Structure 1
Amino acid sequence: MSFVQSFFLTLITAKERSFFLHPLIQKLFFFRKLNSGFLKVVPG
């Protein structure tokens, strides 16, 4: 881990980290669900 990364990780509190990461994770899961559903619907 670089100095800048560790600096930002200490700068951002755990609450803020989860606040920023949670929507990203939700979007990832949403797109994965969307993709798997789309692949099931489309034949071949």
Structure 2
Amino acid sequence: MRIAVATLAGIVLALLTSFGIVRVVTTAQQDPVVKPLYNYGTR
């Protein structure tokens, strides 16, 4: 019984952690800047 509870708790913690990481990553991304490249070296 303890093993089942520990397994369930581990699964719940893993799901919450992965959801939190995905949420932080998606909110940290900004819109790409659409500007021409200047001073990028000689061709």
Unpaired segments ≥5 residues, structure 1: 1-12
- TM-fit CA distance, 1:16: 2.4
Task: Measure, in 2, the Cα distance between the counterparts of 1:39 and 1:30.
Answer: 14
Say what the alpha-carbon RMSD is for the aligned residues: 1.2
2:3 matches 1:19: no
Q: Name the structure with the higher helix share.
A: 1
Normalising by structure 2, we get a TM-score of 0.60
**Which aligned segments of 4 or more residues in structure 1 are displaced greater than 6 angstroms?**
none
- TM-fit CA distance, 1:18: 1.1
Q: What is the letter of the counterpart of residue 24 of structure 1? A: I
Q: Name which of 7, 18, 22 aligns with 1:35.
A: 22
Normalising by structure 1, we get a TM-score of 0.59
Q: Percent sequence identity over matched residues?
A: 6
Q: What is the letter of the counterpart of residue 15 of structure 2? A: L
